[in-house]
Structure 1
Amino acid sequence: MPFQKTIKSEITLSGIGIHTGKKINIKLIPAQRDTGIVFYRTDKGVPVKAKLPFVIDTSLATTIGIDGIKIRTVEHLLATLYAFGITNLIIEIDGSEVPVLDGSALEFAKTIMKTGTAKQGKTIPLFKITKPFLYESSRSRIVAKPYKGFKITYKIFYEHPLILEQSLSIEINEQIFLREIAPARTFGFLKDIQYLLQNGFARGGSLDNALVLDEKGVVGGKLRFRDEFVRHKILDAIGDLSLVGYPIKGHFIIEKGGHTAHINFLKHLIESGYYELEEEPYFNFQLSTQAV
């Protein structure tokens, strides 16, 4: 089993929320063993654990919350913490959305690399897939299989000449995440912007924090990878899967996924019992009234 980890010193970051359009400040604070990943809304005085029972919305981002208090777009930061093996952290945030920064996880990753992590002298159980498990919805298909490490195979399909069908199968560890996944930016389509704005989304979106596509290609920018779109989907999936609260051992094959599919898949996987953990996890979806 891996050791629990936190960061060596505090980290402060600021940026715009891609959906709220508001400036937000966050502070990552080292935490004691067995704390877990906990967001703390400093403007509300409310803590919320980054665990599956506290997911309250999956519309275009993953949102956690409790008693009407929410934190949106947690997936990029959570993916980074997972990739670096950080299991204990307090995240102070003065608004309702994690800053999008440049639309990727690269700044989160580089800042944590610079600060460093610290082992805490206590192990954490592994969440191991023990039997193949299939989840299907009207548009998505996700399979989990036993595997010695943590691997994601992702396939996407978009009727756009720059994307069409993209797929990537990749083992997830700190080095691969930093090099191959963290730089991949969120993306959207110019034709959808008016609808998104009218429905309370993308108010902070810009060419500085997202890949925007018109009918032919990327507007005002260049791709970091030829298949940057599927790489970003893998980034999102890592963040969503991390909400089980433990390091994962398994191979996840995802077709036409998204935040809603990822979270629904996790809930059904937990209910199936096709996993193994050395101690009983907290997965009570009905009694999620206490965040810490």
Structure 2
Amino acid sequence: MPPVFQHTVKAPALFAGVGVHTGAYTRVAVRPSAPDTGIVFVRTDVADRDNRVPVSPEAVCKTQLGTVIGNADGVTVSTIEHLMAALVMSGIDNAVVELDGPEMPIMDGSSLPFLRILDRAGRREQQAPRRYLEILETVEVVDGDKRAALKPADSFEVAFEIRFDSAAIGVQAVDLAMDERAFREELADCRTFGFLHEVEALRAMGLARGGSMENAVVIDGGRVLNPEGLRRPDEFVRHKALDAIGDLFVLGLPLLGRFEGVLAGHGLNNALVRAVAARPDAWRIRTLVQDLAEAV
């Protein structure tokens, strides 16, 4: 059964690492926060303006190769999606994420290191009902052959399909009922990926400076270059599903609904989030406390 009450971390979760795009070494502390405050990032290296960046659909200011949020003073935090997925799927609703740099550490390119760090910190139940965003009507965004949609469902489901010319990937699809256990067993360890021929161009744009085979699956033509190979045969589409979960959590609440993505990325995921936020008739806020009370 999904959590009935909100949770925060029991103790600070501390870690550090390099950002995949900036290459900057950043220290992070995920700290407890009060009920109904959601996830708030705080740039401790910024002192001359507002350094708090609360997560919301409107806070997303860039979606090129990752999700970037920012505030009205231009303070930004990059590559939040892997931590966001770990937070929502481990049942953490409220936390302050302090970091002393512009980008979240990439760790190994998946959500698994974040889950392990959060597990060590522990989880504390709070005296407030956990609120879910329940999808009542289908909301869909389309961009050519790319599509992302949220549809009504009794629980959270995630379906994704990708197609790449590379023989290392080809056509892959995944369709999963998604709860904490399923996330841990099916998606959490799946890493981000990229193509060797794109690295030079990305670095010329100031991106991928911290990228390596230690934090990404690297593909050259039809070959995976990582000596250890893939963690799963369809690791690529599973990572896309992981990304989508993190991108959807900028809505601020866990979902009761079915996400479907076809060739979608961070940009289309955020377009969907904004479309949902603009359609209050298509969803409602629901708590399981109400459901339990009505069942008695």
Structure 2 length normalisation: TM-score? 0.91
In structure 1, what is the equivalent of residue 102 of structure 2?
A: 96
- AA aligned to 2:6 is Q
1:275 aligns with 2:283: yes
Judged with a 3 Å threshold, the aligned counterparts in structure 2 of structure 1 residues 271 and 14 are, in CA distance, closer, same or farther, namely same
- AA aligned to 2:59 is F
1:119-158 → structure 2 map (5 Å cutoff): 119-158=125-164
Judged with a 3 Å threshold, the aligned counterparts in structure 2 of structure 1 residues 220 and 134 are, in CA distance, closer, same or farther, namely closer
RMSD: 1.3
Distance, in Å, in 1 between the alignment partners of 2:286 and 2:188 is 30
Check the 8 A contact 2:58/2:274 in 1, yes or no. no
In structure 1, what is the equivalent of residue 18 of structure 2?
A: 16
In structure 2, what is the equivalent of residue 235 of structure 1?
A: 242
Question: What percent of counterpart residues are identical?
Answer: 36
1:48 aligns with 2:53: yes
Query: More displaced, 158-167 or 29-38?
Result: 29-38
In structure 2, what is the equivalent of residue 71 of structure 1?
A: 77
CA-CA distance at 1:96 after TM superposition: 0.3
Structure 2: gaps spanning 5 or more residues? 288-296
1:257 aligns with 2:268: no
Distance, in Å, in 2 between the alignment partners of 1:215 and 1:132 is 38
CA-to-aligned-CA distance 1:261-291 (integer Å, 9 cap, x gap): 0000111122233111259xxxxxxxxxxxx
Distance, in Å, in 2 between the alignment partners of 1:128 and 1:188 is 34
In structure 2, what is the equivalent of residue 247 of structure 1?
A: 254
Distance, in Å, in 2 between the alignment partners of 1:12 and 1:244 is 25
CA-to-aligned-CA distance 1:105-136 (integer Å, 9 cap, x gap): 11101121222211101113221110122221
CA-CA distance at 1:220 after TM superposition: 2.8
- AA aligned to 2:253 is Y
CA-to-aligned-CA distance 1:121-171 (integer Å, 9 cap, x gap): 111322111012222112411222110110010000111101110000011
- AA aligned to 1:57 is K
1:101-120 → structure 2 map (5 Å cutoff): 101-120=107-126
CA-CA distance at 1:194 after TM superposition: 0.8
Check the 8 A contact 2:63/2:267 in 1, yes or no. yes
Check the 8 A contact 2:22/2:103 in 1, yes or no. yes
- AA aligned to 2:20 is I
Distance, in Å, in 2 between the alignment partners of 1:138 and 1:118 is 44
Aligned length: 279
Q: What SS does the aligned partner of 1:126 have?
A: strand
Distance, in Å, in 1 between the alignment partners of 2:273 and 2:4 is 22
Distance, in Å, in 1 between the alignment partners of 2:46 and 2:34 is 23
